[in-house]
Amino acid sequence: MGDTEVLTTLKILIIGESSVGKSSLLLRFTDDTFDPEQAATIGVDFKVKTLQVDGNRAKLAIWDTAGQERFRTLTPSYYRGAQGAILVYDVTNRASFQKLDVWLNELETFSTKHDLIKMLVGNKIDQENREVSKEDGLKFARKHHMLFIEASAKTREGVQCAFEELVEKIIQTPGLWETSNRGVDISQGGQAASACQGYCAVI
Amino acid sequence: MLRSKRKSKSPYARPNAHPALRALNPATTATQTQAGPSRPTQAAVQFVSTQPQNQEHQLPVDDPTTSEQTAVPLPSIAPSIPLSTSGPNTTVWIIAIYTPFYIALYTLKLCMLKETLHTTSILFGLDVQFFSRKQTPMAADEDADVFEITDFTTASDWERYVARLEEVLHEWKLVNSNPLPPAPRGSLSTGKWHEKKESISFADFSFLVTYKYLERDDIQKSGEESRPSPDDESEEKESSEEALPTVMADMMSLDNDFPSKSHCLSRWFGLQEFVVITPSQSSAAIESESRIKILLSSVSIALNNTGSPVPVFIQIQQYWRQMFSGACVLPGSSIDFDVIHLKTAPPQYSHLSGLLDVFKAKMATQVMPRPTVMVAVRFTYILTEWHNSTWPQEPPDFSSPMEDEVGCSDFGNLPFGASEDPVSEMQLACTWPSLSEDMIVENQNYSDLDPMQAPQWAVRIIMTEDPNCLLGKYLSEFLKISHRKETVEDLLWNLLSKEDDDQTGDISQALQKLTEPKVAKMYNIPSLSNVVHSASSRLAIKPGQAPINGDTLTTLLEFLFPDAKPVSEKTDKDESETESDKPSTKYSSIIEDLSKHLKSAPDDSLLHNLVTALVMVNMHHGGIRGVAQLWQEFVLEMRYRWENKFLISGINPGSPNLGTCLLYQKLQMLNCCIERKIKREQLYKGYTGQSLEEQKDSDSEEAVSSQLTTSDSEPCAASEEEQSKESGSSGTTATVSKESTDRLQQSRKEQQKQTSRKEKEGIPAKRPHLDSSSDDDDEFFECEDEDKEKDEEEENEEDGEEEEEEDNEEDEEMEVETIKAKETTTPEGEEVSMEVSGTSSSSYMDSITHKPEGRLAKSGDLKLLNSEEPLYIPITQDPSPMTEDMLEEHAEVLARLGTSSEGAQLRARMQSACLVSDMESFKAANPGCTIEDFVRWYSPRDWIEEDESTKENPIGHLSTRMQIPGNIWSEAWQSAKPVPARRQKRLFDDTKEAEKVLHFLSAMKPADVVVHLLPLLLHSSIVNIISNEDSDVPKVKEMIEHLISKSSMVTRTPHQHVRRYEDLVKLITLTETLIARATSLKAKFPSSLVESSSGKEEVEKFISDLLHINEVPINGGPTGPVGNMIHKLFVAAQRDLHMVMDDEENKEETSSNTVPDFPRPSAREYILRTAAPRPAPYSKSLPHKMTCSIIEGHEFRLAGAFASDTIFQ
Ligand SMILES: Nc1nc2c(ncn2[C@@H]2O[C@H](COP(=O)(O)OP(=O)(O)O)[C@@H](O)[C@H]2O)c(=O)[nH]1
Ligand SMILES: [Mg+2]
């Protein structure tokens, strides 16, 4: 199974306020580790991982972004062509949840694929001082037609699942990843008929 | 079934007595041999009879005894006895041969004969006499021992042919199939037809065997029941015996008479499945009677051998004659199919009563009383003269839209519509679906068949094959350029003068027209243009040889760049345009959304105009060379604007919009560069004023000018500010371009004023000089004067320390030096400036020595941690605008660094230029700040406040990740010097980027230009279609929606394929044709002719149906509202026709009473059918059908299918 051909390369974004744990989630997913000394991202960062979903191998090119306001003029350029986006907030920080609208808006404006799949991830559920309930997260996700999961990059809970779910959904949305090599089929209106050999009518 | 006595084991074919046999005895020629499906204990030769094809050829029916004698091939040696059937349904006669000896002898003879005979019969055709079919079969008794010959050598071409035919029938599973119910109503024309093909050769001739059949999805589900496998139990057999064979059911079904379109065989005989054998080459038409017979015999043998109930036809005569001869073999019966084709109808047969006579004669049944014949009739009337409409509706005048100086709008509109009437004629079919022969009379003198009495009416519209749709034509011509390889230089080589000397005097006439004289008027910088011309390497075009002549080119360029037109002219035009531009239709929302759906450009952009202009030029002004020329001029204008700092009009301000096509992004980029350049130079002027001494050293003359410029800088800056404010606020509406145009105009006027003022002051040529020198000083990012104003404001606001301002000036000088120093240490590099500036930096760390600079605003009421100073947000450098290709490149570079931690480090460093720049600005704005302060502004979530922290006394610490020693943030902080943004090294090099864009543009071949403009071409075309669409026909709307969604997909795919656009152009042509048809039909069937509103609705539906249904039945026939209208149309046409005659003959108006409402029917079709015993009175009653079509002055055709009982004859 391991060497089945890579079906497609998918571009996935991770966005959200700074220090909600975007880079940590990505590191957990790609290297299955947690680095408390992870530096704050500058601009965008990039990781690759292949994933087996539904018997399909998908190569994921995951773009991690810096969440700081100032970088926001720079990073959206990299939204181009992404098939999926992971919006992260910190469950121990209400403000990071409230900023989600801004991020969604950002996606809307800069993503080139309008039907890209969005996933909402509430991170740091290992911590005690929760400020955002699961219900709030669910409600927001429902309102904006997103996938939703709570996770912890530290304890690995929900991380793998989040990425797999997202990829599966992307693969199920063929318009998103098929490079559509099929030509434009023109439905010829009207009279060309196959059944007759140039003899259609009596006259 | 009886078995053949001799069982041939020839791998090719089982039959073994063939033409040769027939040749031996003419009486047996029609009989065929067959080997039964092997019952080894028996062996016999089977002879099968086929029905006579034509009455003329039919010989008198022999009685069995005579036949016995005549039929036996070698009667003297091998007497044969009739074996009268071993089952009631057998039609097979047998020759039994008693002794092996005879057989051997017989075979020998046979083989010899066969060889000779074959060659003759195939190549030259045999005497018809030999092949005339004989109805009488032969017989022989059979009971002898097994006798087998295995013979591989004797298989003839003919045997192989028959065997192959049988094989094919088996392959296609046309064997032993059970009857299908007749095809559902209308399905012969509306259903889906399939076909299977196989090639079979007979000696040197190759035939194409085609099985055509209607897809029966209506019975697919219950397929098991309707076609049980032949091996099933007896119960089912019984039921299937009762069911009429498919072919007969089809013949008698009234549901598919007069199909609107179908294969002619299916039309004539009502068949839903059949096999046709046609010669592969039309030149090898089967014309000789003998060949026809051989082929028909072969078919009969194959059908008999396989037991296939499917009718098989042979196409005979020339293809165009549509002549067929066919056979069908069923259990207990067979059907002969025949077609007669004449050019004109014999008078005695050109009406129903004559046709009934033919039918009855062909049937030749002797039963009394004769069964009645059922008749279906259809008359077709043609209307070509439309009383109330002529085409074109609005004569499109495309004689020479550009030659006359009507104005630029001629280049802005793509043509639309058909130049010929897309509707050529209407055919009205009046049908009497089912009449008994004695209910109706039609003969030479009298007819009951009045179209107004016909129960069914249907209309068919004949569309013009190619109505010459203009949009489609223009587009496809334009697309052809995309396959050309030539460069602009290749195409214009003889036009481009290479000597630079010529340029001043002989510059491209048109460009000169646009730029020079008008520039002089508009910009009022007469001396400037000359300098510009020689500075920028404009390729001059020799007048008189250019594909686009001077005046046209001027019009074109004024159309593309309306801001370059004199103001007075322009405003008039604009107003008139905006009024006419409103397509206030149901589609307006679609048009608005279009630029979102398509990856092209905002509505009415410069590129839209460019693409339409190029399309028009391609058609009217020199084809690809004209395109090359206009493109050349366009690129030059772009360069001119860059060099002279005029924003490009018709392009939205701001960074490249990634939702638009690449070319548009490039122009946006160029505009960004021009904007930065303008700002930069304003700033430069400001500096030169301040750092006067420095300037003096280098160039005293320039210093004078600088001083002057400084004196002018105030109004200048004001205008700039105004401009930038406006551009910032303008939205994405279509009016933007016009606004910005006006704005540009204004700003240009301002500039004019300035320059003219300068000129008055006697220093004319300074500006250009400044311009060129400024390009060298582009190392700094500027933040325009407003920054400073704001600085001042705030400072004043703060304490009104005016001394600080003065200090500032001194400082500035110092700073400039530092920067110069920095520059020298910078080894060309730019991106990784952090590392560079990090060399001598620590001295700046947390220094309080400098004065604050480049402040934008206070950040709330935050205070610096180490002082009482408020925390200021610095003015920062704007992010670099990027086009999608740059971005892709960038992303690729970043991605290529890999996922290792070193890679990530490097990636972060590569992107830290912006961070460092911000840090430097921050330091400059906040003397005495720390990294904690920076983080509180820049990444507030990395500043963790303690609980006891208050606003006045903030206590907290950096997040762990910021505290890690040597992390990239603190590293950057260490290296950052306090430098305000305006004196930092520019993150965005506008000169370089502008040159890149200009190079990109000038390197494009015409083919590339076309490819890059394709999305805009689609966009404009769709807008054009929509604004011309007022038909309200659902089908049209559907088409447009389809077109938009396809276009959206095609323009968005990352790699653009011309082929896909070609497909879309086809779709556009199709839509255009459809709209033209709808328009034409609406004019021809005006709903104004109908009073009631329900009637109007019906007419609309009728028109809509005509567009996609081949034959539209008329609701209510002649009495419905549509029928009524059609009647009126015919009457009007008839009147028109006869009025002329009236006038000529000077008859009175009363004659109009005698004018018939309808013309003579152009086509008359009759279907006659009945069931009658045939050939003998005691035969089973079987169906017979004859179809007749008489096309006035064109053809007369009879197609007959007559069945005969093969048991009781
Ligand atoms: N307890 C806890 N801390 C986390 C978790 N994920 C990230 N962090 C911490 O949150 C801080 C910011 O994480 P980072 O991944 O750099 O966030 P980013 O700015 O969104 O990329 C770091 O100090 C991480 O150690 C988590 O799931 N649980
Ligand atoms: Mg990060």
Structure tokens at B1207: 């048991």
Dihedral of CA B439/B442/B447/B451: which sign? positive
Nearest CB to A39; choose among B961, B1050, B1060 = B961
Q: Is A55 exposed, middle or buried (0-12, 13-18, 19+ CB in 10 A)?
A: exposed
pLDDT of residue B497: 54
What are φ and ψ of residue B436, in 5° steps? -90, 150
pLDDT tens string B184-218: 888 888 888 898 999 988 888 889 999 999 888 77
Q: What is d(CA B1204, CA B1124) in angstroms, rounded to the nearest whole number?
A: 47
Collect all residues with Cβ–Cβ distance below 8 Å to B1195 and sequence separation of at least 6.
Answer: B341, B342, B343, B344, B1189
Contact B1191 A193 (CB under 8 A): no
A124 lines ligand 1 (CB under 6 A): yes
> Is A184 within 8 Å of B1067 (Cβ atoms)?
yes
Residue B985 has what DSSP assignment? B
Structure tokens at B1038: 């559907």
Distance A154 CA to ligand 2 centre (A): 14
Q: What is d(CA B1002, CA B996) in angstroms, rounded to the nearest whole number?
A: 10
Structure tokens at B1084: 């021809």
Contact A179 B1053 (CB under 8 A): yes
Distance A21 CA to ligand 1 centre (A): 3
A83 lines ligand 1 (CB under 6 A): no
Nearest CB to A40; choose among B969, B1050, B1066 = B969
A96 lines ligand 1 (CB under 6 A): no
Contact A203 B212 (CB under 8 A): no
Collect all residues with Cβ–Cβ distance below 8 Å to B1058 and sequence separation of at least 6.
Answer: B479, B482, B483, B1011, B1014
Q: Is B613 exposed, middle or buried (0-12, 13-18, 19+ CB in 10 A)?
A: buried
> Is B647 within 8 Å of B740 (Cβ atoms)?
yes
Mean pLDDT lowest for which of B941-955, B997-1011, B1097-1111, B1112-1126? B941-955
User: Chain B closest CA to A75's CA: distance in Å?
Assistant: 10
Residue B112 touches chain A, beta carbons under 8 Å: no
DSSP string, B501-567: THHHHH--HHHHHHHHHHHHHHT--HHHHHHHHHHTTPPEE-TTSSSS-HHHHHHHHHHH-GGGS-H
pLDDT of residue B668: 92
Residue to substitute from A12, A24, A42, A108, interface B, most B β-carbons within 10 A: A42
Q: Domain locations in chain A? A: 8-172
pLDDT of residue B507: 40
Dihedral of CA B1085/B1091/B1093/B1094: which sign? negative
> Is B1165 within 8 Å of A202 (Cβ atoms)?
yes
A113, closest residue in chain B (CA to CA):
B1052
Contact B941 A78 (CB under 8 A): no
pLDDT tens string B542-557: 555 677 777 777 778 8
For B1138-1156, what is the HEC assignment? HHHHHHHHCCCHHHHHHCC
Q: What is d(CA B651, CA B600) in angstroms, rounded to the nearest whole number?
A: 12
Q: What is d(CA B925, CA B791) in angstroms, rounded to the nearest whole number?
A: 10
Dihedral of CA B63/B66/B70/B76: which sign? positive
Collect all residues with Cβ–Cβ distance below 8 Å to B361 and sequence separation of at least 6.
Answer: B55
CA distances from B522 to B515, B563, B564, B705, B752 (A): 9, 10, 7, 24, 8
> Is B13 within 8 Å of B160 (Cβ atoms)?
yes
3-state secondary structure of B48: strand
What are φ and ψ of residue B119, in 5° steps? -55, -45
Q: Which residues of B491-521 are buried (b: 16+ CB within 10 A; e: fewer)?
A: bbeebebeeeeebeeebbbbbbbbbbebbee
Q: Which amino acid is at B43?
A: A
B660, closest residue in chain A (CA to CA):
A112
pLDDT tens string B734-758: 333 344 334 444 444 444 444 444 4
Structure tokens at B740: 């910005």
> Is B230 within 8 Å of B165 (Cβ atoms)?
no
Mean pLDDT lowest for which of B132-146, B606-620, B960-974, B1025-1039? B132-146
Chain A, chain B: beta-carbon pairs less than 8 Å apart: 158
pLDDT tens string B1135-1181: 877 765 544 444 444 444 577 888 888 889 999 999 988 888 888 88
pLDDT of residue B311: 93
pLDDT of residue B245: 87
Atom of ligand 1 nearest to the CA of A67: 19
Please provide the size of chain B in residues: 1209
pLDDT tens string B483-513: 888 888 777 776 665 444 333 333 444 444 4
pLDDT of residue B596: 77
> Is B754 within 8 Å of B712 (Cβ atoms)?
yes
Give Cα B870 to chain centroid, integer Å.
64
Please provide the size of chain A in residues: 203
Residue to substitute from B423, B911, B1112, interface A, most A β-carbons within 10 A: B911
Residue A1 touches chain B, beta carbons under 8 Å: no
The larger pLDDT score, comparing residue B668 to residue B139, is at: B668
Distance A129 CA to ligand 1 centre (A): 15
Structure tokens at B710: 């400084």
The larger pLDDT score, comparing residue B1006 to residue B812, is at: B1006
- What are the beta bridge partners of residue B148? B7
CA distances from B926 to A24, B922, B975, B983 (A): 33, 6, 16, 16
The larger pLDDT score, comparing residue B597 to residue B691, is at: B597
Residue B893 touches chain A, beta carbons under 8 Å: no
The larger pLDDT score, comparing residue B114 to residue A161, is at: A161
Q: Is the pLDDT of residue B963 over 50?
A: yes
A36 contacts in B (CB within 8 Å)?
960
pLDDT tens string B576-623: 444 444 445 566 777 777 877 888 888 888 888 888 888 888 888 778
Query: Where do the H-state alpha helices sit in B645-699?
Result: 662-690, 692-698
Contact B942 A193 (CB under 8 A): no
Q: Is the pLDDT of residue A63 over 90?
A: yes
What are φ and ψ of residue A38, in 5° steps? -60, 130
Atom of ligand 1 nearest to the CA of A16: 20
> Is B648 within 8 Å of B741 (Cβ atoms)?
no
pLDDT of residue B1200: 93
Distance A39 CA to ligand 1 centre (A): 10
Q: What is the mean pLDDT of chain A?
A: 80
Mean pLDDT lowest for which of A132-141, A192-201, B808-817? A192-201
In the predicted model, what is the mean pLDDT of residues B315-333? 89
pLDDT of residue B312: 93
Contact B967 A68 (CB under 8 A): no
A11 lines ligand 1 (CB under 6 A): no
pLDDT tens string B351-405: 898 999 889 888 887 777 778 899 999 998 988 877 655 555 444 444 444 443 3
pLDDT of residue B93: 37
**Helix/strand number for chain B, H first, E second:** 44, 23
- What are the beta bridge partners of residue B200? B207
A153 lines ligand 1 (CB under 6 A): yes
Give Cα B833 to chain centroid, integer Å.
52
- What are the beta bridge partners of residue B512? none
> Between the ranges A45-54, B88-97, B844-853, where is the mean pLDDT highest?
A45-54
In the predicted model, what is the mean pLDDT of residues B621-630? 84
Band of residue A195 on the pLDDT scale cut at 50, 70, 90: very low
DSSP string, B759-816: HHTT-TTHHHHHHHHHGGGTTB---HHHHHHHHHHHHHHHT--HHHHHHHHHHHHHHH
Q: What is d(CA B627, CA B617) in angstroms, rounded to the nearest whole number?
A: 6
Residue B597 touches chain A, beta carbons under 8 Å: no
Q: What is d(CA B369, CA B1011) in angstroms, rounded to the nearest whole number?
A: 78
Collect all residues with Cβ–Cβ distance below 8 Å to B653 and sequence separation of at least 6.
Answer: B647, B668, B671, B675, B727, B728, B730, B740
Residues of chain B with pLDDT > 70, as a percent, come to: 61
**Dihedral angle computed from the Cα positions of residues B618, B621, B623 and B625, in that order, rounded to the nearest 10 degrees:** -120
Q: Is B1209 exposed, middle or buried (0-12, 13-18, 19+ CB in 10 A)?
A: middle
Nearest CB to A191; choose among B195, B938, B1110 = B1110
pLDDT of residue A150: 92
Band of residue B858 on the pLDDT scale cut at 50, 70, 90: confident
A75 contacts in B (CB within 8 Å)?
none
pLDDT tens string B214-240: 888 776 544 444 444 444 444 444 444
In the predicted model, what is the mean pLDDT of residues A78-87? 89
Q: Is the pLDDT of residue B805 over 70?
A: no
Residue B1067 touches chain A, beta carbons under 8 Å: yes
Residues of chain B with pLDDT > 90, as a percent, come to: 7
End-to-end CA distance of chain A: 63
Mean pLDDT lowest for which of A144-153, B21-30, B555-564? B21-30
Q: Is the pLDDT of residue B16 over 50?
A: no
Looking at the domain A8-172, which fold is it? Answer: Rossmann fold (3.40.50)
Residue B442 has what DSSP assignment? B
pLDDT tens string A95-107: 999 999 999 988 8
> Between the ranges B461-470, B475-484, B590-599, B762-771, where is the mean pLDDT highest?
B475-484
Q: Which of B513, B735, B748 is nearest to B641 (CA)?
A: B748
Nearest CB to B918; choose among A30, A39, A70 = A70
pLDDT tens string A34-52: 988 888 898 889 899 988 8
Contact A61 B895 (CB under 8 A): yes
pLDDT of residue A163: 92
Any idea which residue has 């959304």 for tokens? B593
Q: What is d(CA B47, CA B31) in angstroms, rounded to the nearest whole number?
A: 5
Q: Is the pLDDT of residue B1006 over 60?
A: yes
Q: What is d(CA B67, CA B285) in angstroms, rounded to the nearest whole number?
A: 35
Q: Which amino acid is at B525?
A: I
Structure tokens at B562: 């309306």
Q: Is the pLDDT of residue B324 over 60?
A: yes
- What are the beta bridge partners of residue B1166? B377, B1188
DSSP string, B989-1055: -HHHHHHHHHHHHHT--HHHHHHHHHHHHHHHHHHHHHHT-----HHHHHHHHHHHHHHHHHHHSSS
A129 contacts in B (CB within 8 Å)?
none
Contact B1108 A37 (CB under 8 A): no
> Is B47 within 8 Å of B135 (Cβ atoms)?
no
Q: What is d(CA A162, CA A19) in angstroms, rounded to the nearest whole number?
A: 19
Ligand nearest the Cα of residue A156 is 1
Q: Is the pLDDT of residue B50 over 60?
A: no
Band of residue A177 on the pLDDT scale cut at 50, 70, 90: low
Residue A129 touches chain B, beta carbons under 8 Å: no
pLDDT of residue B684: 62
pLDDT of residue B670: 92
Q: What is the mean pLDDT of chain B?
A: 69
Residue B216 touches chain A, beta carbons under 8 Å: no
Neighbours of ion ligand 2 (CB under 5 A): A 22-23, 41
pLDDT of residue B545: 66
